[in-house]
Each structure stands twice: as C-alpha cells, then as structure tokens.
Structure 1
C-alpha cells in the first residue's frame, strides 16, 4: 500500500514538472509576427527593432533612426498614428530595465540579443526630462544611463502598455 502511495506521488511530481509547474516563465515573448516583444516582468510591449530598422526573418535589419529628443517624441506619435497602437518613448525606468550587463561588449549592445537582435550600440532617448533642455537616455554601449542635451543625437525604441 505504501509503495502505491509513493508511486502516485512520484507520478504526480513528474506530471507537474512535465507541464512546467515550478518553472519560471520566460521574460520576453515575441508576437506571432515577430514585430513586438512582450515583457512578462513589466507588462510592457516593445517594438522589437529600433526605429528605422525592420524585422526580417529572425533579425532587425536596416539603418537605425537617430534624432534629437523632440524628433524622437514626434516619431513615437507618428508611429502610433500610423498603426493605431499607443506607442510612446519609454521612461528612464522602463528603458533601463532592458539593460542586460551580461551582454555588454564593445561590439554588441547590453540588451537581450534574442529579444532585441541587432540593437545598435548607442544611446537611446527616454521621455524623462532632466531639466530645461535635457532628457535622460540609456546607453546600450555599456548599460549606462545619463542626461543629454535634447538636441544631441540618439536612437529610438518605442514601447506601449499591454492594456
């Protein structure tokens, strides 16, 4: 009788493990078309490619769009108007949450390369103001953050809330 109970317990445990109970859900999940990435940790949805780049097959291709901060904000508005989704520039906290220091290298960006392939090793604008004429950026060069004059160049990655 005890052998039967132990066998059922082992079977139940193996079934739980087999269906993934106890395993963490993967943080980033691509949309069906690969254009967007859902971040299960934050509930945000990101465009997979930096602005100016295009998702093709398994990577982002093309030349990234670099602009001043005001043009980056305008780009977010025009992208939102074009596809009907509420795209915007991320806040400093949101964008810095994508930094992955394990990936930092002089030739590749400090960000998950599977979720955000071919990310430019560059500074990206945020919507967070740092005072008159300055905005915060996240540098995916080495995962740094700082403030920059709003007229200096930066790359653009757009985000929206999942709701």
Structure 2
C-alpha cells in the first residue's frame, strides 16, 4: 500500500472535517425540526413552538383519522378560500410569512414535515396575502418544492388554516 504524502493528507483532512461539520449541522437541524411541533389532545392540530402558531393538521376537505389525514383535499379560488376561513370559528387563512414558516426545504413532494402534516398534497396552498404588484394576484406556497410565489386569485388551490397560539 502506498503511503500518503503530507500534501494528500492536508487536502483530505479539511474536506473530511467539512463533511463531518455539515453532517453534524444536518443532524442538529433534523433534531430541532422534530422537536418543533407538538399536537393537540385529539391530534387534529399542530402547535409550532417556533412561531407560536397552531395549524390545522389536515388541509381543507380532509380530516384527522387519529393516525393520518383522510378524504379528498378541497381546492378553492382565493376569494372562496377567504370566505371558507371566515366560516371556521377561530381559524384564518395564513399570511404568506406564516404559511412559508412550515415549509421544510430538506424535503420535496411535499416540502413539509409529513409527520406533523401527513397526506399534505404536493401543490399550491393559498395564503391570505394579496400580491401588491397585481390586483388579480395573491401569494401561495407550492408544497411540491417549497416555492413561494403569487398567482391569479381565480385559480383553485389548497387551503390550510391557522390561528395564533393554542
């Protein structure tokens, strides 16, 4: 076996240390993410310790079965989503900052913690935030890859409701 030169060892050591450092960050991040959420007694709500928000565990149209979200996810135009939220006492359509806070960029299809939010459709979800540059637009999060963007308010997309605190 050929002995390594000092030069080879010097270039290998920093690369190895950098890889170990990144692995440590990922493990710490995954652990912190897992500790971020807790659940209501019946499991139908997710309490986010980072933001203080409480989320419906399932998107509109689906319901919590005790182990997962079941049923068919409903889609709404932006106006219909706002109207639907008003019928849900104590809940609201989240603003874009709130909705963006539950994106998990380490995942895709869907880009969300699927333990906390099981059966989340990998698609667009409305926020309450209008798009200032276009009166026909509103902000959404695309949970397929975690993209935040705006679209025409006339499109029908998913809805997940939120409320402040517990």
What's the TM-score bracket when you normalise by the shorter of the two chains?
0.7 to 0.9
- 1:159: which partner in 2? 162
1:38 aligns to 2:42 (yes or no): no
Of the three residues 103, 108, 113, the one matched with 1:99 is 103
SS of residue paired to 1:101: coil
Q: CA deviation at 1:90?
A: 0.5
Q: Paired residue for 2:128?
A: 127
TM-score (norm 1): 0.78
Give the secondary structure class of the aligned counterpart of 1:79.
coil
Match of 1:141 in 2: 144
- Structure 1 segments unaligned to the other structure (5+ residues): 1-22, 81-85
Structure 2 residue 85 is the aligned partner of structure 1 residue 76: yes
1:52-77 C-alpha deviation (Å, 9 max, x unpaired)? 00100210011001010010011111
Alignment root-mean-square deviation, CA: 1.5
Normalising by the residue count of structure 2, what TM-score does the alignment of the two structures yield? 0.77
C-alpha deviations, 1:32-54, integer Å up to 9, x for none? 10110000000000000000001
2: CA distance between counterparts of 1:159 and 1:57? 19
Aligned residue in 1 for 2:93: 89
Give 1:102 shift. 1.6
Structure 1 runs, 4 residues or longer, greater than 2 Å off: none
